[in-house]
Amino acid sequence: HSFIITEELAPTISLEDFAAYWLEQPPAPTLKRALIAEVAQMAGTMHRAGVNHRDFYICHFLLHTDKPVTADDFRLSLIDLHRAQTRAATPRRWRNKDLAGLYFSALNIGLTRRDKLRFLCGYFQRPLREVLADEAALLSWLESKAERLQIRYERRYAPGAQE
């Protein structure tokens, strides 16, 4: 048995809730790019440090709202680390599962292809050409995995679906 005590993360809003209306009311492009860059940096740093989350969705990123959120001034916190695993290096399988969960959770918030490419550059910290060449198999797998997760989610939570 264990427990953890942290500072209170309030007031905050999950990135999922913050982005919920981006399709109808897109954010300022500079803010969207800054948030994507920060999520990419946090995810990449976490994985390079040997940590995988195991429940890695945008709802677990909390955007602090104690002051106005701008592209130049915001703070994100990652929560629900109770299932996280730590090792000397994150196994590719667990890294990929984290990335698939993150991608799935962001499917319907209005990200463009360019937004996704920006994330990849920030996450891998390499030029886009290298990422696309070196990680082609991963990117293909992420697309199919996210699609399968979306189908399963719709089947489970569609109106009239059985619990």
Out of 55, 66, 98, 134, which one is annotated catalytic?
55
Cβ(44)–Cβ(123) under 8 Å? yes
Residue 138: half-sphere exposure toward Cβ, Cα within 13 Å: 17
Query: What letter represents residue 43's amino acid?
Result: A
* Distance (Å, whole) CA 90 – CA 84: 11
* Alpha carbon of residue 154 to chain centroid: 20
Say whether 134 is catalytic.
no
Q: Which residues are known catalytic residues? A: 55
